[in-house]
Amino acid sequence: MFEKILAEKVCESINSLYQQTVSSDLVSVQKTRKEFIGDFTVVVFPFTKSSKKSPEITANEIGDFLKAELPIIKSFNVIKGFLNIEFHESEWVNFFFENKNSITYGTDENSGNSKPIVVEYSSPNTNKPLHLGHIRNNLLGYSVANILKANGQNVIKVNLVNDRGIHICKSMLAWQKWGEGESPESSGLKGDHLIGKYYVLFDKHYKEQIAELVSTGISEDDAKKQAALIVEAQEMLLKWEHHDEEVIALWKKMNAWVYQGFDVTYKRMGVDFDKVYYESETYLLGKSLVEEGLQKGTLNKKEDNSVWADLTADGFDEKLLLRSDGTSVYMTQDLGTAELRYDEMLPSKMIYVVGNEQNYHFDVLKLVLKKLGKDWFDAIQHLSYGMVELPEGKMKSREGTVVDADDLIDEMISTAKQTTEELGKTNDFSQAEADELYRMIGLGALKYFILKVDPTKNMVFNPKESIDFNGNTGPFIQYTYARIQSVLRKAEAQYNSEEVLDAKEIALLPKEKELLRLLYEFSQVVKIAGDILSPAIIANYVFELAKEYNQFYHEIPILKEPNLALLKFRLHLSAFTANVIKISVNLLGIEVPERM
């Protein structure tokens, strides 16, 4: 890579000019800003201590050394403490010829023998359908897994289904009381939607009972504990943990409905998993770890028989691990799941894609594992992402005000159809071709709008803004790819001709060089995205690439170019760009249409 060559030579220059040793890791080589002449910029300020000279003089001396030592350098200029270096055009042409048919990206240095990286995402509860928050979770987890694979990592994608607990019992109890035998078949509802309906119904009646108790003079906190519905739900959970046949049978039936619904939604989103864990199968291992902790004196039991981890000496509070009735909590099953995964796969990392409201939870999880003597506790990494809101504000599952994932996907596809038809882009499409295009555009818009945002930030999702054939959107990038395919089809004879491209005949125009510079950056972009687990790095890169290509397309003749050598070069440059666009968006889980 050019940056590595420059960094190493800068170190040599410091040693030769100033008799000082500098590590290449400390040399900052950046892309030159567009307002300056150059391809790469070296930040010289850190070396003035070695040179004992001004930044400008130091930069000029290093520039002279580099130009004398590296034939690839055409010229350099100095702006204050920044050394801007311009390469000969032939270097960019050489890059084009070496990579136009198969660009290398990421790294394969870890492939083959590395310990796996486990990426957990989705983690739904079986008491409600997937919603907009789950969409961000799934798209982020799936894309991060793709990016890590592109960087040569051995990745295992896992899902942990939260299929037990008090929230599940709420839906079960509501169905028992008011369901009258309703099923997905009898109602025409997807199974997860049906169960979600009863979760909302439970909350409605529960609030009514709380209000009634409060009206008799009981405090709201006591009313929440004494309401008949919550008492019955807790009794049902206890029966479940004691394997009551009737409760277990109902639980299996209702969960089966939910799983069928989830599978449909996952397929529509285009995400999958290598392995699925269920909380009902891991919580017992968690309880056994808690028992071990009690025996070792790491954990303590209170008078009501509840079990806690005292973390106050570590700056936290006490953490409940088992309730007084012996039932487990989220932390219990997370302990068990982590132990199970580590024993099964010996991963180097276990990345949990979970919203930032659970930051404290994962800090505590690692700390409890450490206190339990698990020396692999630090393998746990929480990929903490921000919440998704709508222009109207936050969503609430219990009140039924969430944006259902299936409904949102339907809306995106419908909006894509309307927008595309208004622009006349499917006039010559068959109905099947048009429907497939609407699906690609709708989902591409949804995925790109969500993934282009830094995962750590909260975001507002606006469906209308996401489907636009101009601007920083998925459809704009998809259209750019389709435009290139159209150009290549129109010039098929010239593009596929056996005439050999001659590097000597290529004199780069500024726009052609800028495209090549962006294409060159792709490998580093994939690496950075993998290092910081951020699909947004790739999303915003591919937008810049698509934008640059469109400027190139409008400013420079391609199909009307009379010089056949230049025509063929521009066609291959276009195909090179299309290939990188396709690879980039595929890493985000986005498909590109061949025409639109």
Task: Phi first, then psi: give them for residue 382, nearest 5 degrees.
Answer: -95, 110
Residue 558 pLDDT grade (very low, low, confident, very high; cuts 50, 70, 90): very high
> 182 and 175 in contact (C-beta within 8 Å)?
yes
Q: Are residues 159 and 256 in the same domain?
A: yes
Q: Are residues 376 and 412 in the same domain?
A: no
How far is the C-alpha of 45 from the C-alpha of 32, rounded, in Å?
16
Read off the pLDDT of residues 11-46 as tens digits, 9 standing for 90 and up.
999 999 999 998 888 899 999 998 999 999 999 999
Query: Is the per-residue pLDDT at 191 higher than 70?
Result: yes
Average pLDDT, integer, range 53-68: 96
Q: Quick one: pLDDT at residue 400?
A: 45
Q: Quick one: pLDDT at residue 34?
A: 87
CATH number of the domain enclosing 43 = 3.30.1360.70
* Total number of residues shown for the chain: 596
pTM of the model: 0.91
Tokens at 7, concatenated: 């960094």
Q: How many alpha carbons lie under 13 Å from residue 223 in its C-beta half-sphere?
A: 15
Q: Are residues 260 and 311 in the same domain?
A: yes
Q: Mark which of 359, 389, 419 sits at the end of a domain.
A: 389
Residue 500 falls within a domain, yes or no?
Answer: yes
Pick from 404, 419, 398, 471: nearest CA to 205:
398
Q: Quick one: pLDDT at residue 503?
A: 75
Residue type, 462: N
Query: Is the per-residue pLDDT at 318 higher than 60?
Result: yes
List own/partner pairs for 407-412 with CB under 8 A and 24 or more apart: 408/132, 408/135, 408/446, 408/463, 409/265, 409/268, 409/269, 409/442, 409/443, 409/446, 411/463, 412/442, 412/443, 412/445, 412/446, 412/463, 412/466, 412/467
> 581 and 539 in contact (C-beta within 8 Å)?
no
Task: Phi first, then psi: give them for residue 209, nearest 5 degrees.
Answer: -65, -40
How far is the C-alpha of 38 from the C-alpha of 343, rounded, in Å?
52
Bridge partner residues of 155 (DSSP): 117
> 183 and 145 in contact (C-beta within 8 Å)?
no
Residue 397 falls within a domain, yes or no?
Answer: no
Q: Are residues 473 and 502 in the same domain?
A: yes
Provide the strand spans (E) within 464-579: none
Residue 562 falls within a domain, yes or no?
Answer: yes
If phi > 0 it is left, if psi is from -120 to 50 it is alpha, else beta; for residue 326 that is left
Q: Mark which of 361, 389, 417 sits at the end of a domain.
A: 389
Collapsed DSSP state (helix, strand, coil) of residue 118: strand
How far is the C-alpha of 536 from the C-alpha of 533, rounded, in Å?
9
Query: Is the per-residue pLDDT at 430 higher than 70?
Result: yes
Query: Is the per-residue pLDDT at 113 higher than 60?
Result: no
Query: Is the per-residue pLDDT at 389 higher than 90?
Result: no
Query: Is the per-residue pLDDT at 392 higher than 70?
Result: no
Q: Mark which of 365, 389, 413 sits at the end of a domain.
A: 389
CATH number of the domain enclosing 580 = 1.10.730.10
Q: Are residues 126 and 255 in the same domain?
A: yes
Residue 421 falls within a domain, yes or no?
Answer: yes
Pick from 533, 431, 423, 551: nearest CA to 475:
423
Query: Is the per-residue pLDDT at 397 higher than 50?
Result: no
Q: Quick one: pLDDT at residue 108?
A: 52
Dihedral (CA of 588, 590, 593, 596) sign: negative
Residue 60 pLDDT grade (very low, low, confident, very high; cuts 50, 70, 90): very high
> 194 and 257 in contact (C-beta within 8 Å)?
yes
Q: Are residues 450 and 517 in the same domain?
A: yes
Q: Quick one: pLDDT at residue 109?
A: 52
How far is the C-alpha of 329 from the C-alpha of 365, rounded, in Å?
12
- Domain with 242, as residue range(s), is 121-389
Per mean pLDDT, which range of 174-178, 489-493, 552-556 is the poorest? 489-493
Q: Quick one: pLDDT at residue 395?
A: 43
Q: Quick one: pLDDT at residue 401?
A: 53
Read off the pLDDT of residues 235-266 as tens digits, 9 standing for 90 and up.
999 999 899 999 999 999 999 999 999 999 99
User: How many domains would you assign to the chain?
Assistant: 3
The DSSP output letter for 562 is S
How far is the C-alpha of 450 from the C-alpha of 452, rounded, in Å?
6
Residue 116 falls within a domain, yes or no?
Answer: no
Pick from 122, 119, 109, 113: nearest CA to 145:
119
Helix (H) or strand (E) holding 310: strand 307-310
Q: What is the mean pLDDT of the chain?
A: 92
Bridge partner residues of 381 (DSSP): 351
State percent of the chain over pLDDT 90. Answer: 82
> 496 and 572 in contact (C-beta within 8 Å)?
no
Q: Are residues 214 and 296 in the same domain?
A: yes
How far is the C-alpha of 435 from the C-alpha of 416, rounded, in Å?
10
Q: Using CB atoms within 10 Å of the CB of residue 507, give its burial: 0 to 12 exposed, 13 to 18 middle, 19+ buried.
A: exposed
Tokens at 136, concatenated: 């961000």
CB atoms within 10 A of CB 55: 20
Read off the pLDDT of residues 204-238 as tens digits, 9 standing for 90 and up.
999 999 999 999 999 999 999 999 999 999 999 99
Residue 196 pLDDT grade (very low, low, confident, very high; cuts 50, 70, 90): very high
Q: Are residues 126 and 237 in the same domain?
A: yes
Q: Quick one: pLDDT at residue 409?
A: 94
Which residues have a Cβ under 8 Å from the Cβ of 159 and sit 6 or more positions away? 120, 121, 122, 123, 273, 275, 276, 277
Residue 102 falls within a domain, yes or no?
Answer: no
Residue 470 pLDDT grade (very low, low, confident, very high; cuts 50, 70, 90): confident
Q: Are residues 281 and 328 in the same domain?
A: yes
Helix axis angle for 245-269 and 191-214, nearest 10°, is 120
Q: Quick one: pLDDT at residue 107?
A: 65
Query: Is the per-residue pLDDT at 562 higher than 50?
Result: yes
Read off the pLDDT of residues 324-350 as tens digits, 9 standing for 90 and up.
988 888 899 999 999 999 999 999 999
Q: Quick one: pLDDT at residue 277?
A: 95
CA-CA distances (angstroms) from residue 322 to 41, 244, 539? 58, 20, 43
CATH number of the domain enclosing 197 = 3.40.50.620
Q: Are residues 420 and 326 in the same domain?
A: no
List own/partner pairs for 10-19 with CB under 8 A and 24 or more apart: 10/42, 10/47, 10/62, 10/66, 12/65, 12/69, 13/61, 13/62, 13/65, 13/66, 13/69, 14/47, 14/50, 14/51, 14/62, 16/65, 17/51, 17/61, 17/62, 17/65, 18/47, 18/50, 18/51, 18/52
Helix (H) or strand (E) holding 229: helix 228-241
Q: Are residues 183 and 324 in the same domain?
A: yes
How far is the C-alpha of 118 from the C-alpha of 584, rounded, in Å?
22
Q: Quick one: pLDDT at residue 485?
A: 97
Tokens at 39, concatenated: 């391809």
CA-CA distances (angstroms) from residue 201 to 293, 403, 440, 446? 39, 17, 36, 30
Residue 498 pLDDT grade (very low, low, confident, very high; cuts 50, 70, 90): low
Residue 251 falls within a domain, yes or no?
Answer: yes
Average pLDDT, integer, range 133-157: 96
Q: Are residues 179 and 310 in the same domain?
A: yes
List own/partner pairs for 406-411 with CB under 8 A and 24 or more apart: 406/129, 406/130, 406/190, 406/193, 406/264, 406/265, 406/268, 408/132, 408/135, 408/446, 408/463, 409/265, 409/268, 409/269, 409/442, 409/443, 409/446, 411/463
Residue 592 falls within a domain, yes or no?
Answer: no
